[in-house]
Amino acid sequence: MLPLFFMTNKHIRNRQLSDFSTDKRVLFVIGIAVPVAIAAMFAGMLLLQLIRLCTNLAYFGRFSFEESQLGSVSLGLWSVGIPVVGSLLIGLIARYGSEKIRGHGIPEAIEAILLGRSRLDAKVAVLKPLSSAIAIGTGGPFGAEGPIIMTGGAIGSLIAQALPVSDNERKTLLVAGAAAGMTTVFGTPIAAIMLAVELLLFEWSPRSFIPVVVAATVAELGRSLMGMGGPLFPFDGTMMTSLPGFAGWIAIGIAAGLLSGVLTQLVYACEDGFQRLPIHWMWWPMIGGLVVGIGGLVDPRALGVGYENISAMLDGQMLGVAAIMLLLVKAIIWSVALGSGTSGGVLAPLLIMGGALGAALAGWLPDASPGFWALLAMAAMMGGTMRAPLTATFFAVELTGNVHALLPLIVACVTAHAMTVLLMKRSILTEKIARRGHHIVREYRVDPFELTHVRDVMTAQVVSVPAAMTLRAAVRFLTAPDTRHPSFPVVDEQGQVLGIVDPPSVLAWRRAGEHRDQTLEQLLRGKKITLAYPDEYLAGLVDKLVHANVAHLPVVSRTDGSLVGYIGWKDLMRVRQRLNSETHDRTALMGRKGRSGR
């Protein structure tokens, strides 16, 4: 560190800056995240119990909370009506309760975060798990993760709305509740944290990351204390790293990426078809329920959450024709039902369809442990469709407890992610939001305003006007044909900046009845002036421009206050233009530059 007597103002100011903007306020948010996580955890447990109850009531006619597997039951024609009745109930709940229960939950959570100031109402917290339990319990081919993410998020939002918190803190608590809910259902706290980072937070900072980690950890701890610890689908299969194996990992990623694109298009094609029907949307889920019921007759394994299918595929008990049949039936009924606007999640179906793809392709790929290719395809399908490769990778590791498959998983997930990014403009999550008229960018970059000094973009050759200039002369000067700029700094004989003269200020003085022979120094005397400094960053300068409600600021030296530059909004736009050039301009052969396609 420099000796104190050598420290300049610049050194002192730079010491005051920090890598992060997080302060002690985060401790308060962490304190709130704990009860949010506990509430979301109990909501997740309640949802699982409701799904079991609805399944037993609908298909077995018994009041029981025991786990039931529809895939092992022989269903008759009577079973076709069960999803129809369940869908009718969901349509009624959506129309007369809350329309926000429609869909699979994650797009609604994203929309609330980005566009709704992270505010969700109590109806969502109650009706979303209820409607999802009915949909899944009556055979809907969905998972519980989307509904519990929405429900946990609603709990976090409601608690935050009752407290003195900012919009950003409310967003953090909403996401904390969502992460806790997902952890409760699947026992995957790391994946829940990554889901928050990749999909929900839209920032990467300790002020939001730490409370989310605390919430997911609390939920996992509570889950373990309730006897729900351990991976849901224990699996220790792997394969030796080799060139053929590496090619197989990539092949699985490519196949999963292509199937992700097909499924996304199929879901929204079904949604477009329902939009064209001449009936109220309340009745659409019934049509989807009819398709689900018929699909259940073809292959009962496609009904419900289908966790037993995941276990069978990881155990190597489902291959060939059986896997293909499950994939086709699940894809059709899931796409139609989701497109109809019913309530249910996408994660579990993606795992099942991806696993079926891997099981079907296993005979064409290098030798590996039974279920290994199914596992890779599950994760790749999730990572490609949701465009969250890190979430999918850690999700698969935590579901199975198999850290040895980490490298193959990340290769397959990133390959699938690359395929969908190159082939589709939007994911299955953001397409729904885009159809509502909102564009979402999911790329995180460092703000160039945080890295650029005022001196890097200011105009150094400044034309100023003397403080002794009269108002009459200022009017002539501003309206002269050879005057090229709309505003000018006013400088006195000592070189100090007194303010800015521009057409709005002249007009204000004229309206106030100021005499034309008054000097600018007299008119500006006692007026508050906002100044910029060469060594400050543009992020702070933007705040100054907005606060002062001006388009330009004089730049003065910190040592003697003399005018050294002038900066305005056009200079700020050049920073963005430079960023675009760095992204799209590239050097070609022989040193010539070309512009990449956009």
Digit-coded pLDDT (tens) for 203-255: 888 999 999 999 999 999 999 998 887 898 999 988 888 999 999 999 999 99
Contact 304, 136 (CB under 8 A): yes
pLDDT of residue 585: 65
Helix, strand, coil fractions of the chain, as percent rounded to 5:
65, 5, 30
Residue 567 reports pLDDT greater than 70: yes
Does one domain contain both 418 and 269?
Answer: yes
Q: How far apart are the C-alpha atoms of 319 and 382, rounded to whole Å? A: 20
Q: How far apart are the C-alpha atoms of 363 and 13, rounded to whole Å? A: 64
Residue 584 reports pLDDT greater than 70: no
pLDDT of residue 589: 53
pLDDT of residue 92: 94
Does one domain contain both 251 and 208?
Answer: no
Helix runs in 424-560, H state only: 430-434, 454-457, 471-479, 503-511, 520-524, 538-548
Q: Is 592 within the bounds of a domain?
A: no
Strands across the sheet with 465-466, in order?
465-466, 488-491, 497-501
pLDDT of residue 166: 92
Q: How far apart are the C-alpha atoms of 11 and 219, rounded to whole Å? A: 45
Does one domain contain both 70 and 138?
Answer: yes
With tokens 């509740």, the residue in question is 177
Query: Identity (one letter) of the amino acid at 509?
Result: W
Q: How far apart are the C-alpha atoms of 567 and 434, rounded to whole Å? A: 37
pLDDT of residue 17: 67
Q: What is the pLDDT of residues 15-62, one digit of tens each?
A: 466 778 788 999 999 999 999 999 999 998 998 899 999 999 999 889
Which of 170, 192, 225 is a domain's end point?
225
Does one domain contain both 383 and 454?
Answer: no
pLDDT of residue 444: 77
Greater model confidence, 596 or 352? 352
Does one domain contain both 301 and 369?
Answer: yes
pLDDT of residue 594: 54
Average pLDDT over residues 426-433: 83
| CA dihedral over 275, 278, 282, 288, signed as positive or negative | negative
Q: Is 130 within the bounds of a domain?
A: yes
Residue 318 reports pLDDT greater than 70: yes
When pLDDT is cut at 50, 70 and 90, the band that residue 345 belongs to is confident
Q: How far apart are the C-alpha atoms of 34 and 53, rounded to whole Å? A: 29
Q: What is the pLDDT of residues 391-411, one digit of tens each?
A: 999 999 999 999 999 999 999
Rg (CA), the chain: 30
| Burial of 246: CB neighbours in 10 Å, binned 0-12, 13-18, 19+ | middle
CATH number at residue 135: 1.10.3080.10
With tokens 């064209």, the residue in question is 276
Does one domain contain both 454 and 424?
Answer: no
Q: How far apart are the C-alpha atoms of 259 and 507, rounded to whole Å? A: 64
Give the number of domains in the chain: 3
Residue 12 reports pLDDT greater than 50: no
Comparing 85-94, 139-148, 493-502, 554-563, which segment has the lowest mean pLDDT? 139-148
Residue 186 reports pLDDT greater than 60: yes
Greater model confidence, 14 or 91? 91
Residue 2 reports pLDDT greater than 50: no
Distance from the Cα of residue 298 to its chain's centroid: 37
Residue 415 reports pLDDT greater than 70: yes
Contact 521, 468 (CB under 8 A): yes
Among 450, 499, 560, which residue's Cα sits nearest to residue 19?
450
Q: Assign 343 to helix, strand or coil.
A: strand
Contacts for 421 with CB less than 8 Å, ≥ 6 apart: 387
pLDDT of residue 512: 86
Residue 583 reports pLDDT greater than 70: no
Q: How far apart are the C-alpha atoms of 464 and 491, rounded to whole Å? A: 7
Contact 531, 497 (CB under 8 A): yes
Q: What is the pLDDT of residues 506-565, one digit of tens each?
A: 888 888 888 888 999 899 887 888 999 999 999 889 999 989 888 899 999 999 889 999
Residue 73 reports pLDDT greater than 80: no
Q: Is 238 within the bounds of a domain?
A: no
Does one domain contain both 210 and 283?
Answer: no
Mean pLDDT of all residues in the chain?
A: 88
Q: What is the pLDDT of residues 142-152, one digit of tens each?
A: 888 778 888 89
Report in angstroms the alpha-carbon separations of 88 from 53, 142, 204, 286.
Answer: 18, 17, 42, 5
pTM across the whole model: 0.84
Length of the chain: 598
Average pLDDT over residues 126-138: 88
Does one domain contain both 209 and 120?
Answer: yes
What are the E-state strand segments in 52-130?
A: none
Q: How far apart are the C-alpha atoms of 114 and 439, rounded to whole Å? A: 10
pLDDT of residue 100: 80
The torsion angles phi and psi of 103, rounded to 5 degrees, stand at 95, -170
Task: List, in sequence order, every residue forming a beta bridge with 553; answer none if it has no partner.
Answer: 567
Q: Is 457 within the bounds of a domain?
A: yes
Residue 597 reports pLDDT greater than 60: no
Does one domain contain both 186 and 301?
Answer: no
Does one domain contain both 123 and 177?
Answer: yes
When pLDDT is cut at 50, 70 and 90, the band that residue 4 belongs to is very low
Q: Which two tokens stand for residue 556?
A: 């003065």
Q: Is 14 within the bounds of a domain?
A: no
Average pLDDT over residues 322-330: 94
Greater model confidence, 427 or 221? 221
Contacts for 558 with CB less than 8 Å, ≥ 6 apart: 9, 533, 534, 535
Query: Identity (one letter) of the amino acid at 84?
Result: V
CATH number at residue 507: 3.10.580.10
Q: Is 185 within the bounds of a domain?
A: yes
When pLDDT is cut at 50, 70 and 90, the band that residue 292 belongs to is very high
Does one domain contain both 62 and 198?
Answer: yes
Q: How far apart are the C-alpha atoms of 127 and 150, rounded to whole Å? A: 11
Average pLDDT over residues 306-315: 91
Q: Is 9 within the bounds of a domain?
A: no
Terminal CA-CA length for the chain: 46
Q: Is 439 within the bounds of a domain?
A: no
Residue 153's region, left for phi above 0, alpha for psi from -120 to 50, else beta, is: alpha
Q: Which two tokens stand for residue 382?
A: 């999730």
Greater model confidence, 414 or 124? 414
pLDDT of residue 14: 52
Q: What is the pLDDT of residues 465-480, one digit of tens each?
A: 999 999 999 999 998 8
Q: Domain range spanning residue 408?
A: 243-434
Helix runs in 206-344, H state only: 206-225, 243-275, 284-298, 307-314, 320-339
When pLDDT is cut at 50, 70 and 90, the band that residue 3 belongs to is very low
| Burial of 591: CB neighbours in 10 Å, binned 0-12, 13-18, 19+ | exposed
pLDDT of residue 488: 92
Residue 595 reports pLDDT greater than 70: no
Residue 421 reports pLDDT greater than 90: yes
Does one domain contain both 135 and 266?
Answer: no
Q: Which two tokens stand for residue 418?
A: 């690359």
Residue 598 reports pLDDT greater than 50: no
Q: What is the DSSP letter of 66?
A: S
Greater model confidence, 407 or 596? 407
Contact 91, 287 (CB under 8 A): no
Residue 8 reports pLDDT greater than 80: no
Greater model confidence, 347 or 292? 292
Q: What is the pLDDT of residues 355-394, one digit of tens each?
A: 999 999 998 999 999 999 999 999 999 999 999 999 999 9
Q: Which two tokens stand for residue 471?
A: 């108002």
- Kindly give the interhelix angle for 145-161 and 106-115, rounded to the nearest 10 degrees: 30
